[in-house]
Structure 1
Amino acid sequence: MKRQRGHKARLYLTPDQLAQVDGQGHGARAMWNLLHELWQMTPKCQRSLGRMDQAIRQARKDIPWLGPSPQAAQQVLKTCHRAWVNCWEGRAEAPAFKKRTVRRAIDIPQGRDLRIARLSRHWGQCWVPMVGLVKFRWTKALPYGKRADKHNKVTGARLVKEANGWYIVFRVQTEVDEPKPHEGPITGIDRGIAKPLALSDGTFREHEPWLTPGEAKRLKRLEQQRERRRAHRKPGERNSSRLKHTYDQIKQLRARATRRALDWQHKTTTELAGTFGVIGVEDLAITNMVKSAKGTVEAPGTNVRQKAGLNRSISGEAWGRTVTFLEYKLADRGGVLVKVPAPNTSWRCSACGFIAPGSRESQSRFVCKADGCGFVENADTNAARNIEHAAGHAVSGRGDLGVTRS
């Protein structure tokens, strides 16, 4: 079967190349904004990819600063059109105007244009249109040159701007054998904050804070510095160089925390996918869980600051990303991910099945209130066992372990 995966590598650009790539990134953003405005102004009966493509070509002739925009400007149009299709089909919100502060990206739609070559054990190079040959860190085998064929190849790439520099994300297509059914046991996983991942076998998967105490203290000092410098800025005035530098330092620290979170999630989900054949998780509406409790002027919310702190903690754990990693890693190994309904998993006793809201006495302690039971367990472990029980029933009812339940 064919498998599509992405591989992200750090780019190492010369000063001239960095200026050219930054210019292309701003050009792609400007092209998106122009297309977004043109698309909204054009009557629905006249909207078409051909008409927009003609507008792109004419704009690049008439507007000098659009000249250094990426050669694959039509790819920006395709991305914009796909965003609208996702909106119409209910998979995403409507596309919006892109500010200068958003993450810049440049598409290279054709893999043959990349001319990938390996220079040494740790270094590779590829071709970026209108920039030239650029070096990147080689951390994973890529199908290139004679090693590439119609089944195993790089089909394209995207350059993305992060807080610590530019990266390239290769789209890699490979042909692999169908995985055999995973013979590992079944487990349930409860996602939380005090215990990031609690398994039904009574074990936990935990991590240290994403930032060290010194880094967290420095981040807090920089955020206070940012607020002081913003207070001295007049309305409509551009940010000073010092304020921009403070913003950059904050972004770098937060990006470091994100990289550490990704590293832990990848290692943990790889270990879980290799150990268990069936993993059950709660089907959580995370977007609704992290909504603000601020309310409105007529009906103000309560415990707003406490809810904001909880929202930050949930977002910091990136529960949805953990499930995404488990989903494709289990599929690669012949396992299955089962999403079970979330209601009552924390209140149900995993020993007798009795449900009572007061059974969860604290964040970490569960005591069954049923007469004659009195089961005592860690609250997260009890929830994970309920999830395992529901996942087992879902799998036995379907009789198919080769397809992810969602």
Structure 2
Amino acid sequence: MVRRQAFKYRIEPNGEQQRKLRQFAGMCRFVFNKALALQQVIYAAGEKYIGYVPMAKHLTDWRNGTETPWLKDAPVHPLQHALKDLDRAYQNFFAKRADFPRFKKKGQGDSFRYPDAKQIKLDQAGNRIFLPKLGWLKYRNSRPVLGIVKNVTVSQSAGQWYVSIQTEREVEISPHASPLAAGIDLGVVRFATLWDGQQETVLQPRGSLKRHQQRLAKALRQMSHKTKFSNNWKRAKARVQRINRQIANARNDFLHKATHSLSKSHALLCVEDLQVGNMSRSAAGTVEKPGRNVRQKSGLNRSILDQGWGEFRRQLEYKAQWAGGDVVAVPAPNTSRQCPACNHTHADNRQSQSVFLCVTCGHEENADLVAAKNIRERGLNLLKGPDMARIACEVNGATGPSAAGTRRSDEAAKAA
């Protein structure tokens, strides 16, 4: 199978290269915002949406015009890719997969992409990479780049610049060595509770934000006391960004290690199909209809988002595929309210956050473990359907994942 994988490194540009990096990111942001504004004007006039190809002709006019001739200083391919990003955002909006595209702000997600591999040169022995109009850039070579380079994305985070090198290579995926199928229940007190039919495994939460919350709050208070856009304010803002980067790095490290271990030890992983956006929605309400328990719900939302459930599932899906396994998404309703002994489902079965007590048969167990058992059982039942008939290997007597796991795309792989 073809594996697409990204390798991310921190680069060490000199002063001139840093200036160009900021310029190129700003120009791509300008092109994106200008095209979005043009689309809105066209829509207000009652005309149809402009696709990428006609919009690219506008980019040519902007580069050759008298108002924005400085766009020529940037390589053209990253500017064109900014228009492709806008076109994809519109397509996601039309398909109801995302909200309406919004204007980009300086300092938030600054990045640009070189999509043409012919213009990119990689010297792994010399720890450097060549990018058009930037020249050779030194990077911190922490691991080898495997495969053929397809494109490179340059991004900024907390004052540091990074390159993400996406590659493509052929790999052979053999059937998973483990016969185990596990159900995974995600939570706040327990990050994950696993049941493989024989034993329970509990992953305790890392709580990255909680560990650094006091430091972050102090840094935010200090920044709020500074005059906005002054040098002191910029230094305080950089301190806040460094703390946020430490929180994100710790969370990603925990998620990568957890998903790697699970994908190697289990052939089939059954997870809840959680709608994290809905679960973490604000309870503030409106002026006419104010919400209730807003403070408590805000703390719960913060804890939910600190776990990184969406990223956990994304990593688990492509890593399970790489290991020859599979991931099955199970509908979330009543997973912790159904008794695993008598199958009775009732809201009163869930006595508290951690206690499950069946009102019919009296079965008592940890509520998270009950959910993990039900998720596993439902996942195995889904595999028995005709749509999963092509999955060949046996998992605990039930149909399990195939070696290829071809029904998913491995395009979501990102660097650790």
Shared fold by TM > 0.5? yes
Would the aligned equivalents of 1:28 and 1:70 in 2 still touch at CA under 8 Å?
no
TM-score (norm 1): 0.89
- Give CA-to-partner distance per residue, 1:295-345, whole Å, 9 cap, x none: 111111100111111111111111011111111111112211111111111
Q: Take 1:325 and 1:168, find their aligned partners in 2: how far apart are those partners?
A: 20
Q: Take 1:58 and 1:369, find their aligned partners in 2: how far apart are those partners?
A: 72
- Give the residue type in structure 2 aligned to 1:68: D
Q: Take 1:137 and 1:351, find their aligned partners in 2: how far apart are those partners?
A: 54
Match of 1:339 in 2: 329
- Give the residue type in structure 2 aligned to 1:136: Y
Question: What is the aligned residue count?
Answer: 385
Q: Does 1:85 align with 2:91?
A: yes
Q: Take 1:48 and 1:199, find their aligned partners in 2: how far apart are those partners?
A: 46
Q: How does 1:150-161 map to 2 (within 5 A)?
A: 152-161=147-156
Q: Does 1:360 align with 2:363?
A: no
Match of 1:17 in 2: 17
Q: Take 1:312 and 1:115, find their aligned partners in 2: how far apart are those partners?
A: 43
Q: Take 1:274 and 1:164, find their aligned partners in 2: how far apart are those partners?
A: 36
SS at match of 2:327: strand
Q: Take 1:377 and 1:318, find their aligned partners in 2: how far apart are those partners?
A: 26
Q: How does 1:268-283 map to 2 (within 5 A)?
A: 268-283=258-273
Match of 1:27 in 2: 27
- Give CA-to-partner distance per residue, 1:197-238, whole Å, 9 cap, x none: 11113211124432685x443212112223444xxx6xxxx5
> Once the 2 structures are TM-superposed, how far is the Cα of residue 172 of structure 1 from its aligned partner?
0.8
Would the aligned equivalents of 1:190 and 1:199 in 2 still touch at CA under 8 Å?
yes
SS at match of 2:11: strand
Q: Take 2:23 and 2:336, find their aligned partners in 1: how far apart are those partners?
A: 52
The runs of 5 or more residues in structure 2 that have no matched partner are: 392-400, 409-416
SS at match of 1:106: strand
Match of 1:60 in 2: 63
Q: Does 1:242 align with 2:232?
A: yes
Match of 1:2 in 2: 2
Match of 1:71 in 2: 76
Would the aligned equivalents of 2:5 and 2:167 in 1 still touch at CA under 8 Å?
yes
Q: How does 1:162-177 map to 2 (within 5 A)?
A: 162-177=157-172
Would the aligned equivalents of 1:339 and 1:405 in 2 still touch at CA under 8 Å?
no
Q: Take 2:121 and 2:107, find their aligned partners in 1: how far apart are those partners?
A: 31
Identity of aligned residues (%): 31
Would the aligned equivalents of 1:107 and 1:158 in 2 still touch at CA under 8 Å?
yes
Q: Take 1:212 and 1:360, find their aligned partners in 2: how far apart are those partners?
A: 27
Query: Which structure's relative contact order is higher, taking Cα pairs within 8 Å and 6+ residues apart?
Result: 2
- Give the residue type in structure 1 aligned to 2:98: A
- Give the residue type in structure 1 aligned to 2:168: Q
Would the aligned equivalents of 1:183 and 1:277 in 2 still touch at CA under 8 Å?
yes
Distance 1:212 1:365, change over 3 A: closer
Moved more, 343-352 or 274-283: 343-352
Would the aligned equivalents of 1:71 and 1:129 in 2 still touch at CA under 8 Å?
no
> Once the 2 structures are TM-superposed, how far is the Cα of residue 58 of structure 1 from its aligned partner?
2.4
- Alignment RMSD: 2.1
Q: Take 2:88 and 2:207, find their aligned partners in 1: how far apart are those partners?
A: 38
> Once the 2 structures are TM-superposed, how far is the Cα of residue 277 of structure 1 from its aligned partner?
0.8
Q: How does 1:64-213 map to 2 (within 5 A)?
A: 64-72=69-77, 73-119=79-125, 124-143=127-146, 152-181=147-176, 183-200=178-195, 201-210=199-208
> Once the 2 structures are TM-superposed, how far is the Cα of residue 178 of structure 1 from its aligned partner?
4.1
The runs of 5 or more residues in structure 1 that have no matched partner are: 144-151
- Give the residue type in structure 2 aligned to 1:77: L
> Once the 2 structures are TM-superposed, how far is the Cα of residue 68 of structure 1 from its aligned partner?
2.8
> Once the 2 structures are TM-superposed, how far is the Cα of residue 41 of structure 1 from its aligned partner?
2.4
